[in-house]
Structure 1
Amino acid sequence: MDVNDKKDLCSPCEFKSKTEIATKWCIECKEPLCVSCNENHSAHRSSRNHHVISIEGNKMLESLQIPLNEYCEVHDQEKDLFCTSHSEVICLTCTQTTHGKCEPAVRLSDVTKSAKTSTFVSMIDTKIVDVVDELRDIIRDRENNKVEIEKQKTEILDTVKNYRKCINDKLDQVENIITEDLNEKCESSNLEIDNNVKFLNDHLNKFDEIRKKMDILKEYASDTQTFIGTRALEKTLHYNESMLTSFLELIQNINIDIEKNRGQYPIDHRLKLSKALEIKIPQESFFKSTILSCIILPNKQMIFVDSHARNKRLIVLNEDGTHDRNINLTSKPFDIAVIDNNKIALSFPWNTHKRIGIINMTNNKSEPDIFFKNKCYGISYDKDRLFVVVKTEGILIMDLSGKLSACLPIEGIGIFYVHVKNDRLYCSDECNDTVQCYDMQGCSIWTFKDSNLGSPRSISSDDKFILIAGCKTNNVVSLYLNGSFASVICDTDDGIIIPTSLYFDSDNLLV
């Protein structure tokens, strides 16, 4: 019989040489009991209060692998006392030996009374629950970390794709430049070779002519005539030989090549910005502000154009976002442009007299207005030239006195904003969701259209990027100077909602 099977036999029955399967286990007696013996055990006065559990329960207690022995292994006595100094269950002899100097021991029965509902057991239960919950949170956090890693992987791969596209665009640009360069060099070299061949053919004809003249002299002339004629031809021959010799000294093989550093173009990285300041526009009336344009002055003050019909004002804020002052206007403004450290220009398309106003910010005084027949909307100032979007006319270029220098036929129902920098003119068409680039003669260079940009409004730029406010797409999009898409630099996640105006001064983006 297996040892484990023997342990499941009733101990009292086994003592009587009987074989009965045990179903219960008495913890105090430490022996298995069958059904019959358990009934007798429960009825006997000395054992009726013993703690009896199922055989399976006892096996589970044994599987815990924690000390539950109620007998002292040193003194072979029942552990019925509790040492409060060491929080240890001991026997009577232990109090006289190893625990002789401890605080007086208390009865174990007093300490263990209602142990399952004691504060200590509850505290342990709570601690276990807390630890389990914390571990589950940690496991959940680690699983979330895996998800985040996958997300980061996707973002990195997207970034790599953007870099790849940027590199490909640059390579295409370099290839086009090299191709144009080679075409020019080939054309120039071929022209030079053609001129050389023409010169040589001309001299070949001259030498053929001399040879023919010599043949005529030899056949028909007298000796005297031959002598005189040969002397004359010899001078012509010598002259042409000298010319040919000098020319041949200059002739050499023509090779074409490209400059080794011609293809070394920098790859523009994506423009990255972080929020530095969130500004709340001060409301000084019942009517909410309608901001259609904004700028940053050289002194870092910010100006917002409030175009609400009841407000009609400029809101001037300091660099830290605090309110400096308001400048009240007589009519609704639309756009604003920086002229210099002290002056700004404003467009008034809805006034009876459509005009551009110049204001000195140091004293708030206005200079003579520039008047237009039709509505004037977007304005930009660059290299002492004022660029104005005038409906049904195009984009007018003039000085601050209003003297017109050019009228570019750039017009559209959705074109309201214009931006000029480094002899490039950019305008947005909010009806067609496009951004267009022109040279100073009004010739189109490129047109940008992408699902990332809807209802484009205000435009700004630096030496590397063009920034556009996407009113419908609730974002700000950056383009490279060649018109290719760079990135969405901020959107609703950054608090951008229906942006109409922006201004970029290389250090700060005001939206």
Structure 2
Amino acid sequence: MEKSASTVRSVSCDVCQRRSISKPATKWCPHCEDGLCTDCHEHHGASRSTANHHVIQIEDYHQFPSYVASVKHRCDIHKLEYEFYCTSHALPCCVDCTKEVHSTCMELKPLHDVVKNVKSSNHLHEIERNLSDIVDNIVKLTKEREENLSKLEVQKTKHVETIKHMREIINDHLDKIEGTVLEDLRRTHDASKVQIEDLIDKLNERKIKANSIQEEISLMKGAASNLQNFIGMRDLEKKVNEEGKTLVILQEDENFYNSDIHLNYSEILSSFTDKVSVFGDVLVQTSPRNLSLILGKRIQSQIVLPKVAGIEKIKMRLQQRIKLKNSKGFDISSCEILDHGKLLFLDWKHERLLTCNSDGSESRVVADFPGNGPFDITCISDDKIAVSARTSKIIILIEYATGKIIKKINVNGECFGIDHKDGKILVRLVNSGIFLLIDVAGKIISRVRFPGDRLRYLTWYMDKIYCTVTGQNTVICMNMKGSEIWTYRNVLLREPFGIATDTNGFVYVAGRASNNVVLIAPDGRSSRVILGGRDGINKPQALYISKFRRQLLVCDKYDGSSYLFDF
């Protein structure tokens, strides 16, 4: 479960503290936003003004997820209790807010009417049903994979018996080729087995995450206030929808097709043993699954699984040009789009992380990294960012809202490109010639060796690593063992830097010297220039694709210009 920041808060009674008395709190009042000791709780319940407040155990409050615990009952600006809800802005507001900020909003409703019965609302029930469907789907998919695994075992046994029978008929001549085909069979079976077991492990991870969300819902319904449930449902629904989308995308992978082991025997095997040079070919035939997923209407409406468009059909539509302003100038080495729409820019030259809205407004410095040499960023979540620092040879985890450093992970090497997936961080250590895979606590999971001191930017998608080799004008795709899958080199692309992939596996690369963004097909065999100088870009260095928002962010190196595209 995602823990609330409240877990680090003092558990003293807030009422007593205001009287310079120290007592442990046993209760929490969300309305007053105060911890209460036993005595103060009794007074709180007896007071006419607070008797109807919903008070909860302090332990329950500490277990709230952050998106629930962060919901306040009072306005941070005016310190007044929320009384209205603006449907236009999807925000609760106090009386003063309705006059100062929401005076022209037409959809102001009494907050009491909006949040009443929220715990028994159809919307929350639908979220719970969707999550329950996701868990059921995971169970079904796991069972199907296990049945396929059992079937492979039976088929393996059957073929082994056939092979041994034919071995007895043709005797000495098969001594040579029997071992070859058995090894081929074993290797093919084991490869399929490992593939299926990997998928089962991924499904178990999704199940654990779904169960965690179920626990959050139970806690919300049992202990959180109506307002906290109502506001929290947006984040909760987003997490559930994300799980649904992740599951659908996962099960559409061709690795989820049913596998069958077949052995094609030589036609002349039974007649002319002297002409047989191989025993047979072992292969795996895949067929579509018979199982259909059960998904809620809201998840289905957000999932579009069209046929993958050809490389010529992909088009970019400029949504916004952003111009960062600062007297120091810029050297943008990395950028990201957060799921809620905020933009991040890493200024390598001035060692700082910047943020702004998608229209360029409300820009600010999130954090400074003097002497660390920050190179690349990846978002662990909307409130946690990992920064690779090449000079100090560490990964810095910071809090987005405050810029506070959460953790420093020593990687003992100049770290450059960085990416994140499923609680794991992949970082390029140039001087060591390796990709280092670690968890967010800093524990090393594996090392992927691939030499090259100019191999710096990377992106990680579907168990493949894509990286740019600037000095060689090259893009490389490799598997998680460091085996090269394909290499791209073309006169269209010069000085490749930032790299990203979309949900269909197309690769987008920023060419600084060629002043363009080049789109490369998933197999690396075809490409085209998708953005160039005519689109306004000037020496692009950093780019990022939000698969959630279907947007591409491209950043020029020096002048603070960036471009947000829909596709």
Task: Sort the TM-score into its range (normalised by shorter chain).
Answer: 0.3 to 0.5
- The structure whose RCO (Cα within 8 Å, separation 6+) is larger is 2
Q: Which has the larger radius of gyration?
A: 1
